[in-house]
RNA sequence: GGUCCAGUAGCUCAGUUGGAUAGAGCAACAGCCUUCUAAGCUGUAGGUCCCAGGUUCGAAUCCUGGCUGGAUCACCA
């Protein structure tokens, strides 16, 4: 049984016996002992003083005594202030090692027989411009969260909802019609999403020019923005699209096709896949029927002009429109529809939306509307909200060209990895194919780790130089530690050192070995907790700690030199455990594992 | 103005849900390559945890009030 649980139960018994009192679980706090003190686990004694009616020292000693006598694995204790530090026997830790040694995926739960089904929606790009750094944060979070959920035994569906319709697409289409000269990705060699994005920018430029001209000729600015000829044309195009105009539809699907080809390249570069891709052009009419049903049940209200609203004033919000006066639907209506469709189609138990925090209000409302409509799964939707990615120079603005393009960024990371490796002569003994593979692994690992280590809900600053740095709290450092561990085994093998299947019971630890062991011990809990909090950052920061412990440890303790046999075996054991834990953690983050360099 | 989120070292970030003397990396300084990979390790320096109250054995963490920054408050998606 888990030692922490064992201690907890013993404490309950002790309190019942000594003080004739039923302690509630929550008052019993057991934590890992801080490094500077002796012991493995610490019981906080303060909460029991009122019950024991005895001085601090006496209470702590009494409890410590009881635990030592009643739990075989508690071999010693000491009391410092209100903290009871318990030392756990070496046998317990050895058992832990021996038990988990054979597990290839230590800390990861296999898929249950009857798993909870979770859908994760992420990426969700518009088809009028290429992916940028903001999308990268979204994509990496979505991918990583999916992996963490899967590692907790859930069945995960990764889905993408492409926003392929609307006025913004029409702007790109119109600009291409006017100034495109028949350019295609094929005849220009340009990536499709970039090509289309260029025309979106072109539209904006020409549109601004028109607005300026109108203002110069005396038109009110607000009016000018609304009445610029280009915008009117784009609106007309959208109407035609909605009416199913064949020519427009043709152009639309051609240009979107270019964009998808471009996106595929970007996703592939990042190693991202989806189980299903939804298109808004297929789903934008969904939800209308559900809203009308809700109206019938009087869950919603109809105004004089015929528009339909949800009244959320009781929940502290205002009213939200769901159907316009002309009966057409809005974004919210659509989301109600797609959610309903997904819950019935996939029979999912939970739906996670990875969407930026600018939509916090939207998802708050969505949940309330679903509840109003009477769907019992309304509580099962979760908005994984994340903050913006800013640059040292400030915010990214796509129209002002200050965005960091996703492909460019990945390429730059690769370039930096190449330069640094060349400079240090790290990859001299590898073939060209191997070198390319390693560089890709490292540069992508650096990017992913840099993004994921930050708490999702916080906005973050992306510093290009720091992201490319391979020292310190970075992906390459974690990969490096793993590679070193692999190297230990390779060298051991060369020297015919056999790694035993089981450690002998008289194997001794020193403090550093114990530290590393305890860090490994925590991994399973971290995975579980990260799943509950939907936080890859937790894993990232943890695995960095582990890699650091490892590096400090092995720096001082050569393994393969002459020393007592069981000591050597213990270290090989620890290496392998640590290696597996690091590898598992990297996989949860979506970071590739490098070979032993 | 209403609502939500954030504020921790010069910079970028952790801080295990209220515990012991608040931690890393970067940048600065001083060291460590015949040992397994120096993409590393050791040390020095660096803190009003935004401010003020409150809750209690105990607060970076919880509550209240302020300050600063961000998001949002569309018949856009």
On chain B, which bases lie within 7 A of the protein's CB atoms? Answer: 2-7, 11-21, 24-27, 35-42, 57-58, 70-77
What Å value separates CA A358 and C1' B68? 20
Q: How are beta strands A276-279 and A155-162 bridged, if at all?
A: parallel
According to DSSP H, which parts of A425-474 are helical?
A: 432-452, 464-468
Question: Within 10 Å of residue A77's Cβ, how many Cβ atoms?
Answer: 22
pLDDT of amino acid A160: 97
Q: What pLDDT digit, counting tens, does each position of A475-517 carry?
A: 999 999 999 999 988 888 888 887 888 888 888 888 888 889 9
**CA atoms in the 13 A half-sphere facing the CB of A266:** 26
What's the confidence (pLDDT) of residue A597? 60
Q: How far is the CA of A220 from the C1' of B14 (A)?
A: 52
Kind of pairing between the strands at A319-323 and A83-88? unpaired
Q: Within its chain, how far is the Cα of A503 from the centroid?
A: 37
Nucleotide with smallest C1' distance to residue A324 CA: B75
A369 CA, B10 C1': Å apart: 48
Strand nucleotide closest to residue A417 (CA to C1'): B39
Residue A204 (CA) to nucleotide B66 (C1'), in angstroms, measures 43
Estimate in Å the CA A415 to C1' B66 gap, whole number.
49
Q: Which two tokens stand for residue A581?
A: 């834990």
> Which sign, positive or negative, has the C-alpha torsion A588, A589, A595, A597?
negative
User: How do residues A531-560 score in pLDDT, each as one tens digit?
Assistant: 989 999 999 999 999 999 999 998 888 777
The whole-chain average pLDDT of chain A stands at 91
Angular region, A534: left φ>0, alpha ψ -120 to 50, beta rest: left
Question: Which nucleotide minimizes the distance between its C1' and the CA of A542?
Answer: B14
Residue A243: strand, helix, or coil: coil
Per-residue pLDDT tens for A242-270?
999 999 999 999 999 999 999 999 999 99
- H or E element: which one contains A30? strand A30-32
Tell me what percent of chain A is helix, strand and coil, each rounded to the nearest 5.
60, 10, 30
Shortest-distance nucleotide from A164 CA to C1': B77
CA of A297 to C1' of B1 (A): 35
Nucleotide at minimal C1' distance from the A495 CA? B36
Nucleotide nearest to A472 (CA to C1'): B25
Q: How far is the CA of A547 from the C1' of B36 (A)?
A: 16
| pLDDT tens-digit series, residues A389-427 | 998 887 777 666 678 999 999 999 999 999 999 888 888
In tens, the pLDDT along A445-463 reads 999 999 999 999 999 999 9
CB distance A328 to A279 below 8 Å: no
Residue nearest to nucleotide B57 (CA to C1'): A46
| Alpha helices (runs of H) in A271-330, residue ranges in sequence order | 280-283, 288-296
Spatial neighbors of A136 by CB under 8 A, at least 6 apart, are A270, A389, A406, A409, A447, A451
* Res A429 pLDDT > 90: no
Cα torsion through A142, A144, A148, A149, rounded to 10: 20
């Amino acid at each position: 049984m888990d030692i922490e649980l064992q201690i907890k139960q013993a404490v309950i018994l002790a309190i019942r016996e000594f003080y004739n009192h039923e302690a509630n679980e929550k008052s019993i706090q057991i934590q890992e002992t801080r490094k500077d003190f002796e012991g493995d686990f610490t019981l906080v004694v303060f909460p029991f003083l009122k019950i024991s009616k005895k001085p601090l020292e006496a209470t702590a000693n009494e409890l410590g005594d009881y635990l030592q006598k009643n739990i075989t694995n508690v071999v010693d204790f000491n009391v410092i202030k209100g903290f009871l530090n318990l030392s756990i026997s070496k046998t317990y830790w050895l058992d832990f090692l021996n038990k988990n040694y054979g597990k290839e995926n230590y800390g990861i739960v296999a898929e249950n027989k009857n798993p909870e089904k979770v859908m994760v929606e992420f990426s969700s790009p518009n088809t009028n411009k290429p992916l940028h750094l903001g999308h990268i944060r979204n994509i990496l979070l979505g991918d990583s969260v999916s992996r963490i959920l899967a590692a907790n035994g859930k069945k995960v569906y990764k889905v993408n909802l492409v926003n392929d319709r609307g006025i913004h697409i029409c702007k790109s289409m119109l600009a291409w019609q006017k100034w495109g000269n028949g350019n295609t990705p094929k005849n220009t060699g340009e990536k499709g999403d970039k090509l289309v994005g260029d025309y979106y920018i072109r539209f904006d430029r020409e549109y601004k020019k028109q607005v300026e001209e109108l203002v110069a000729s005396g038109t009110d600015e607000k009016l000018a923005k609304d009445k610029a000829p280009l915008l009117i044309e784009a609106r007309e195009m959208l109407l035609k699209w909605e009416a199913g105009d064949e020519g427009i539809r043709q152009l639309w699907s051609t240009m979107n096709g270019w964009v998808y080809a471009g996106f595929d390249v970007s996703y592939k570069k990042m190693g991202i896949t989806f189980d299903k891709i939804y298109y808004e052009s297929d789903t934008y009419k969904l939800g209308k029927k559900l809203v009308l049903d809700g109206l019938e049940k009087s869950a919603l209200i109809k105004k004089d002009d015929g528009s339909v609203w949800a009244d959320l004033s009781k929940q502290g919000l205002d009213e939200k429109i769901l159907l316009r006066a002309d009966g057409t639907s809005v974004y919210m209506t659509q989301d109600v529809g797609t959610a309903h469709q997904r819950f019935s189609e996939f029979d999912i138990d939970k739906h996670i939306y990875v969407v930026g925090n600018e939509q916090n209000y939207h998802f708050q409302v969505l949940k309330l509307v679903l509840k109003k409509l009477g769907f019992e799964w309304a509580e099962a939707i979760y908005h994984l909200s994340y903050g913006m990615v800013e640059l040292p120079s400030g915010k990214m603005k796509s129209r002002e060209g200050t965005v960091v393009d996703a492909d460019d960024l990945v390429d730059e990371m690769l370039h930096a990895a190449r330069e640094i490796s060349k400079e240090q002569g790290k990859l001299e003994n590898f073939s060209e194919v191997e070198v390319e593979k390693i560089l890709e692994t490292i540069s992508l690992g650096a990017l992913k780790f840099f993004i994921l280590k930050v708490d999702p809900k916080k906005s973050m600053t992306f510093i290009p130089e720091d992201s490319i740095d391979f020292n310190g709290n970075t992906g390459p450092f974690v990969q490096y530690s793993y590679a070193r561990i692999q190297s230990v085994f390779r060298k051991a093998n060369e020297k015919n050192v056999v790694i035993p299947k089981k450690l002998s019971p008289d194997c001794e630890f020193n403090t550093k070995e114990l530290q590393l062991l305890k860090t490994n011990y925590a991994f399973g809990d971290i995975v579980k907790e990260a799943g509950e909090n939907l936080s890859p950052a937790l894993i990232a920061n943890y695995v960095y700690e582990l890699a650091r412990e490892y590096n400090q440890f092995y720096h001082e303790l050569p393994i393969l030199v002459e020393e007592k046999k069981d000591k050597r075996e213990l270290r090989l054991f620890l290496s392998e455990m640590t290696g597996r834990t690091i590898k598992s953690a990297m996989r949860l983050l979506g970071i590739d594992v490098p070979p032993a360099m």
